[in-house]
Amino acid sequence: MASAAAAASKIIIDGSVMEGGGQILRIASALSCLTCQPITVQKVRAGRSKPGLRPQHLSGLQLVRDLCSGELIGGSVGSTEITFIPSKIKAGRYVADTKTAGSVVLLMQVSMPCMLFAAGLTQVTLKGGTNAEMAPQIDYTTLVFQPMIERFGVQFECDVKRRGYYPKGGGEIQVRTTPIQCLQPVDITDVGQVTKIEGRAFVAGVLPVKIAKSMADTASSIISSRFPSIPVHVKAVQEASAVGNGCGIIVVADTSTGCKLAGSTLGKKGVPAEQVGKEAAEMLLRNLDHGGCVDEYLQDQLIIFMALASGTSRVLSGPLTLHTKTAIHVTEKLTKAKFNVQKVFGEGDSERSIIECEGIGLQR
């Protein structure tokens, strides 16, 4: 249990500022765990239609609590204030289950930084939605996030055991991390040239594979018209193991300097497959047009790793998203890391940002 001194020294965080959603909880609880600083998050999701903790947010907080044998006060669905008092991170095997279609990727976001600083190999089994609205798809995690985050010296495995879709969820992934002594800084400021574009369009459940083919063909056609000399290959897949019906597509551009940028979309009832493919292709092209090295979804996910690394990290991105601004705000509040963002302009006056951070060099 927490000591009175620890509870009294907690850092107060306004959960309604900036992005005002679950991201504040994820970053704050992970950094609380890593830096051994008690926190209280007030006004949790105050501006949302259903304020307070949802099952997904609660599952993430409980997972971090278990990882460090900490104490969570106010941990119930609907709670608008929580206090988290951490202890030492422990290696082992853990399970988190949203019991809904809540995103397993967001559970991974809150737990992975903590897992890396455990004393030994650590595994989490995460259950919920693998491809959910308002969250990166699991395909994005394996195709974009994983290879890009490895630049910090991170090593992890992510096995998709079963896919799960709205409304039931039922998906499952297993994430295993190799312990790290200290994260190394990165310099991701040279985007290079696009060398190839690949992707996967998928259907699951009773949906016919022709839907995936339509998504893939439409996306390929739009991208090829912009990059006629670059190989574009988007495969259509019928998922073998899944709970519920779902469909979607992700397209990923590889560059000569090892950067990966993506566009992705989930299908919805009543939306033609061609429209889904079109939206994913146009998202990728927007991310390529700004000339940055990372897309809009990777941008904010890098912030916590930049802050923990030893030395100065620099990342060239497109315009800062609200999620990235929120991540920087919370990270600076809980660490001594200092961020500097400089606007630069590329071809056609496209706005880009150089995100620079002097990390704290956290060591296990």
Which residue ranges make up the annotated binding site? 109, 297-301
Contact 67, 111 (CB under 8 A): yes
Residue 42 amino acid letter: Q
Residue 322 amino acid letter: L
DSSP string, 86-140: ------EEEEEE-SSS-BHHHHHHHHHHHHHTSSS-EEEEEEEBSS-TTS--HHH
- The candidate with the shortest Cα–Cα distance to 117, out of 39, 35, 57, is 35
CA distance 128 to 101: 5
Query: Beta strands 156-164 and 171-177: pairing type?
Result: antiparallel
Q: Which of 57, 290, 323, 329 is catalytic?
A: 323
Residue in the structure block whose two tokens are 């990882």? 67
Query: Edge-to-edge, what's the strand order for the sheet holding 194-204?
Result: 232-238, 194-204, 246-255, 260-266
Annotated binding site for ATP: 109, 297-301
**Cβ count near 71 (within 10 Å):** 17
- Is 233 among the residues known to form the active site? no
Beta bridge pairs of residue 352: 344
Cα-atom radius of gyration of the chain, to the nearest Å?
20
**Cβ count near 293 (within 10 Å):** 27
CA distance 185 to 151: 8
Contact 60, 110 (CB under 8 A): yes
Beta bridge pairs of residue 250: 200, 264
CA distance 46 to 14: 10
* Tokens matching residue 161: 């055991």
Q: Which residues are catalytic?
A: 323
